[in-house]
Amino acid sequence: MRQKPTVLAREIVATSRLFRVEELQLRFSNGVERTYERLVGKGTGYGAVMIVALDADGQALLIEEYCGGTDTYELSLPKGLIEPGENVLDAANRELKEEAGFGAHQLELLAELSLSPGYMSQKIQVVLARDLYPERLPGDEPEPMRVDRVDLRELSNLIQNPQFSEGRALAALYLVRDLLTQRGEFSL
C-alpha cells in the first residue's frame, strides 16, 4: 500500500450552516507539495444511509424531492442522516418511513459509497429493504415526497430520465440488481 502524504498544515478556510471547507497542505513521498481543499461535515456526524426498498413486485421505490444543488426536483432513493444512538439499519427504516411511507421487515447492509472522494469526506451506507409494510413517520422534509417505482430490469431507461441524475443512487440500484441476480433471487 502506498504511503499517504504528510499533512504539513490543516485549516478551516470557510464555514456554512452545513459544511466546512478544510485546506490541507500536503507533502507526498516523492517530496512534491500540494494544497488540497475538501468539504467536511459540521459537528461529529453519525453518517448517512441510502435505501434500496423493493416492493412486493420487486420494484425499487424512488422518491421525488427538491434538490438545492441542481435547483430541480430529482428522483432518487430514500436517504438521510443517522441520528445519535441509531444503528445503520434502524436509521434506514426510519428514513424509509419518513420519506416513502413504508417500513421494512428485512434490512441488509450492502456497501459504503462516497460521492466525490477527492473533495468530500462524507460516505453513505447502502441498505437493501424488503418485505415492506405501509407506515409513515413525520420527517424534516418541507413538503410531501412523491413516491415512484423502477423495475430493476429497466435501469438503462432510468438513466435517460432527466429527473434522475444521482450517481450513488444508480450505483446502489445496480449493486442490488447484481447481488440479487447472483443469489438467484432475480433474473434479467
Residue 20 has a pLDDT of 86
CB atoms within 10 A of CB 5: 17
Q: Are 26 and 33 in contact (CB under 8 A)?
A: yes
Q: Are 170 and 154 in contact (CB under 8 A)?
A: no
For the chain, the average pLDDT equals 91
105-122 confidence digits (pLDDT tens): 999 999 999 878 887 778
The amino acid occupying position 97 is K
How large is the average pLDDT for residues 152-166? 93
109, 146, 108, 141: which is closest to 124 by C-alpha? 109
Fold of 47-183: Nucleoside Triphosphate Pyrophosphohydrolase (3.90.79)
How large is the average pLDDT for residues 24-28? 92
Quick check: 67 pLDDT over 70?
Answer: yes
Residue 164 has a pLDDT of 95
- In DSSP notation, 72-138 reads EEEEE--EEEPPTT--HHHHHHHHHHHHHSEEEEEEEEEEEEES-TTTB--EEEEEEEEEEEE----
Q: Do β-strands 59-67 and 72-76 pair in parallel, antiparallel, or remain unpaired?
A: antiparallel
How large is the average pLDDT for residues 13-40? 89
Sequence ranges of the domains in the chain: 6-40, 47-183
Q: Are 169 and 83 in contact (CB under 8 A)?
A: no
C-alpha cell at 55: 416492493
Q: Which residue has the higher pLDDT, 120 or 136?
A: 136
79, 90, 167, 165: which is closest to 126 by C-alpha? 79
Per-residue pLDDT band at 45 (split at 50, 70, 90): low
In the chain, what percentage of residues exceed pLDDT 70? 97
Quick check: 43 pLDDT over 60?
Answer: no
How large is the average pLDDT for residues 145-149? 94
> Does residue 152 sit in helix, strand or coil?
helix
In sequence order, which residues have a C-beta less than 8 Å from that of residue 32 and are 6 or more positions away?
none
Distance in angstroms (rounded) separating the CA atoms of residues 36 and 123: 19
